């Protein structure tokens, strides 16, 4: 065989997939990829039993496995000891006889700016406080209590209906401190009248304390009150013919605005949640 014949054979061998040339996929000759099975999205209405128990606040998921194995958890009236057992959100799950709720409770406090409505929906297309905390949780968080559009300060949001009911109950007068600014200086005689109590809608409004803000004009006062009545501080000053320019809630049920800029929110600390839970 001549040298040229040998070279031609080598070239031919390379074109046919021999060892002399690397395969080229430039012309679309790349090998076909195998079909990869796509992962089906998980059903949000189905949970592992240990997660269901943990989400309800009873214990951790690891501890839930122990309780499940011990027969402490029932599903629709029957004990379940199977690890990895899955339940529907519509199932009745009980731990030692107590009905569980698998929706994780979340708590967020917002430093509400002025001109944001507190209502969950504003038909006029105005900005709402709900919109400011919309990315705080996947759960639907609702405001605790009401705050008028022009007021600012602490506003609590949660999906814990029991806590909301307790905080809004008239028997639970929660400690609130307001920074109030008026259009004219507050007379000392009127300050004294407020301390003694003023009747609004056939009910005397009692405050804990009221004083002028230190190193500020007498148009600014601090008011400490234990009440769940809506807009009661604003109505208190309007009763005495004072227009309120600023009404800022700076302390609410032990929560403060420290290190929380206007328009920002933060989740409650574990200790703050425990403190609120002690309100009966």
Domains of the chain plus CATH, in order, are 46-99 (3.10.290.10), 107-169+258-277 (3.30.70.580), 175-252 (3.30.70.1560)
Residue 273's alpha-carbon distances to 107, 108, 129, 177, in angstroms, are 8, 10, 21, 20
pLDDT value at 53 more than 50: yes
Give the model confidence (pLDDT) of 149-182 as tens digits: 999 999 999 998 888 999 988 777 789 999 999 9
**pLDDT cut 70: percent of the chain above it:** 82
Tokens at residue 188, please?
């000392």
pTM for this one? 0.70
CB-CB contact of 231 with 150 (8 Å): no
pLDDT value at 231 more than 50: yes
The DSSP letter of residue 50 is H
Report helix angle 161-168 to 270-277, nearest 10.
60
| Interatomic CA distance for residues 182 and 159, integer angstroms | 35
Q: What is the DSSP string of 117-139?
A: B-SS--TT---BHHHHTTTS-SS
CB-CB contact of 208 with 199 (8 Å): no
CB-CB contact of 128 with 104 (8 Å): no
Instruction: Find, among 247, 251, 235, the residue nearest to 175 by Cα.
Output: 251
pLDDT value at 233 more than 90: yes
| Interatomic CA distance for residues 252 and 273, integer angstroms | 13
Banded pLDDT at 270 (limits 50, 70, 90): confident
**Residues 146, 151, 156, 162, Cα dihedral to 10°:** -10
CB-CB contact of 201 with 229 (8 Å): no
| Interatomic CA distance for residues 12 and 195, integer angstroms | 105
Give the model confidence (pLDDT) of 102-153 as tens digits: 788 899 999 999 999 987 665 556 789 999 999 998 888 999 988 999 999 9
| Interatomic CA distance for residues 196 and 225, integer angstroms | 13
């Amino acid at each position: 065989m001549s040298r040229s014949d040998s070279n031609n054979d080598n070239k031919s061998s390379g074109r046919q997939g021999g060892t002399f040339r690397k395969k080229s996929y430039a012309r679309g000759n790349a090998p076909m990829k195998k079909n990869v099975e796509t992962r089906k999205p998980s059903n949000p209405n189905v949970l592992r039993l240990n997660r269901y128990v943990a989400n309800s606040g009873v214990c951790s998921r690891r501890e839930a496995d122990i309780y499940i194995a011990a027969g402490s958890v029932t599903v629709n009236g029957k004990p379940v000891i199977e690890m990895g057992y899955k339940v529907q959100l519509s199932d009745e799950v009980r731990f030692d006889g107590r009905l569980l709720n698998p929706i994780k409770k979340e708590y967020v406090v917002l430093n509400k700016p002025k001109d944001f409505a507190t209502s969950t929906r504003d038909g006029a297309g105005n900005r709402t406080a709900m919109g400011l905390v919309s990315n705080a949780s996947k759960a639907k968080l609702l405001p605790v209590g009401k705050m008028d559009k022009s007021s600012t300060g602490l506003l609590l949001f949660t999906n814990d209906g029991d806590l909301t009911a307790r905080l809004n109950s008239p028997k639970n007068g929660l400690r609130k401190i307001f920074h109030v600014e008026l259009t004219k200086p507050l007379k000392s005689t009127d300050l004294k009248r407020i301390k003694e109590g003023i009747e609004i809608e056939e009910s005397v409004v009692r405050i804990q304390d009221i004083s002028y803000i230190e190193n500020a004009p007498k148009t600014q006062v601090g008011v400490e009150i234990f009440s769940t009545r809506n807009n009661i501080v604003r109505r208190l000053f309007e009763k005495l013919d004072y227009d309120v320019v600023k009404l800022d809630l700076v302390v609410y049920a032990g929560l403060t605005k420290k290190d929380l800029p206007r328009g920002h929110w933060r989740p409650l600390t574990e200790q703050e949640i425990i403190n609120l839970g002690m309100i009966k």
